[in-house]
Amino acid sequence: MLPILEQLLFLQESDLSIRKLVAEKDAIPAARAALERRLAALGGAHEKALQTAKETEVKRSMLEKDVRSRREQIQKYEAQRSQTRKNEEFQAIGAAIETTRADISRIEDQQLELMEALESMQPEIESTRNELNAAKGIITKEIADLDQKSVNLAERIVSETAERDRRTTGIDDGVLDTYRRLLHTRDIAVVPLQSEYCGGCDIKVVPDVAVQTRASKELVQCNKCSRFLYPVR
Ligand SMILES: [Zn+2]
């Protein structure tokens, strides 16, 4: 094979490897963000379960306070009733006591419902906590691994770029420019010519191009896509 073609292929190997490393590194922030979102979602689910229980407990303790004050009210009514001598007032206070007792009974029923609700929330609190704790360790490690991977990739990109630059030594500037442009616009710059078909654009090249490529005396470009061609049997 023409030495310049070998050199270009060698260079292309470096460039494609670097391109892969860069793509891998570029994908890390999104993967990291997804892990963080997952952790936040698990934390949020647990927080929500706790918050619902807390709100229910607040309601329940308000009802408890309500019952206490109504019991005190009954005591006051009873003291009033023992003081009165008027039958009408005695009856009225008795009725108020009955109403208050009924209220207490109704509020206590509500309290009971809230306590049952609180009880039923415990499994949810427990399972969201367990899920969060189990995931926290794993996800934190995965995030740390991604950060480490990003550092490693950055180092490899630097060293492979240095190697790539070394591989350009001795290549004519014009050829190098064409190669770079092809790599950038056509994804790959040096392709095989197999049975007269360009390995880049898959068309059958014109006879001159096929003959020149096989002759291996100069750099030949595909007449359709301009990629450099190297002959293969
Ligand atoms: Zn082509």
18 Cα: distance to centroid of ligand 1 (angstroms): 24
- The whole-angstrom separation of Cα 222 and Cα 202 is 10
pLDDT of residue 132: 96
7 Cα: distance to centroid of ligand 1 (angstroms): 20
20 Cα: distance to centroid of ligand 1 (angstroms): 23
pLDDT of residue 217: 95
Helices (H), the chain: 3-83, 87-167, 173-186, 207-215
What are the contacts of 63-66 at 24+ separation with CB within 8 A? 63/107, 63/108, 63/110, 63/111, 63/114, 64/111, 66/107
179 Cα: distance to centroid of ligand 1 (angstroms): 14
214 Cα: distance to centroid of ligand 1 (angstroms): 15
Q: Please name which of 118, 79, 115 lies closest in space to residue 96, comparing C-alpha atoms.
A: 79
182 Cα: distance to centroid of ligand 1 (angstroms): 11
162 Cα: distance to centroid of ligand 1 (angstroms): 30
pLDDT of residue 86: 94
Q: Which residues surround ligand 1, an ion (CB under 5 A)?
A: 198, 200-201, 222, 224-225
Tens-level pLDDT at each residue, the chain (233 residues): 899 999 999 999 999 999 999 999 999 999 999 999 999 999 999 999 999 999 999 999 999 999 999 999 999 999 999 999 999 999 999 999 999 999 999 999 999 999 999 999 999 999 999 999 999 999 999 999 999 999 999 999 999 999 999 999 999 999 999 999 999 999 999 999 999 999 999 999 999 999 999 999 999 999 999 999 999 97
221 Cα: distance to centroid of ligand 1 (angstroms): 8
- The whole-angstrom separation of Cα 110 and Cα 103 is 11
Domain boundaries, the chain: 24-165
pLDDT of residue 79: 96
199 Cα: distance to centroid of ligand 1 (angstroms): 7
pLDDT of residue 173: 97
191 Cα: distance to centroid of ligand 1 (angstroms): 8
Q: Side chain identity at 157, as an amino acid letter? A: I
* Third-level CATH fold of 24-165: Helix Hairpins (1.10.287)
pLDDT of residue 227: 98
pLDDT of residue 233: 77
Q: Phi, psi (5° rounding) for residue 197?
A: -105, 135
207 Cα: distance to centroid of ligand 1 (angstroms): 13
8 Cα: distance to centroid of ligand 1 (angstroms): 17
pLDDT of residue 101: 98
5 Cα: distance to centroid of ligand 1 (angstroms): 16
